[in-house]
Amino acid sequence: METLGRLLSRAVHGGMLQGFEVGSGSTSLLVSYLFYVNDAPIFCDADVDQIGHLRCVLLCFEAMSGLRVNLSKSKLIPIGKVARLSILAAILGCKVVSLPVSYLGLPLRASFKAREVWDGVVEWVQQRLVGWKRQYLSKRGRLTLIKSVLLSIPTYFIFVHVIPMAVAKRIEKL
């Protein structure tokens, strides 16, 4: 993955790929890729040239590392309206999906403040609590389960999505 990271960084610094900028002024950061274990979301413009350069970077990575990038498992996720989307997908040889999608267990949407993002979390909490109520657990046992299991899922989501106050109150009430 270090090799792929260096190849992508060189492509970005060479102007062949362009990510997105986070922040402003001297504290801005250009994000063009992220790595998570054996997964790598790569961000670039929906441009035939950039997609072609990305394909070349991936082919170079395959040649240098001996590993094969499985593009049939890869997905092209457009943000906004994208012209010639089928051509871009054909260049990469991957599928096209649209938002909302799930990535690493988190729903990704255009609006990160959307309340419906939390519906799955609230439903999951409800199902767990119903299952635990069927078991004969002491108050202390239920409290331990709540602290160790139930709080981990909302905490995971909070790293990506803003939790609306109404959702937080609903989870607390449950």
Whether 151 is in a domain gets the answer: yes
pLDDT by residue (tens digit) across 91-133? 999 999 988 787 776 667 656 566 777 787 888 888 888 777 7
Place of tokens 């449950």: 174
Mean pLDDT by groups of 10 residues along the chain of 174 residues = 92 93 85 86 92 95 92 89 91 89 71 70 81 76 78 73 82 82
Residues 82 and 122 in one domain: no
Please check whether residue 62 lies inside any domain of the structure: yes
Asked, for residue 132, whether it belongs to a domain, the answer is yes
Pairing between β-strand 29-31 and β-strand 106-108 as defined by DSSP bridges: unpaired
Do 130 and 90 share a structural domain?
Answer: no
Which range of residues forms the domain containing residue 83? 2-98
* Chain centre to alpha carbon of residue 123: 21
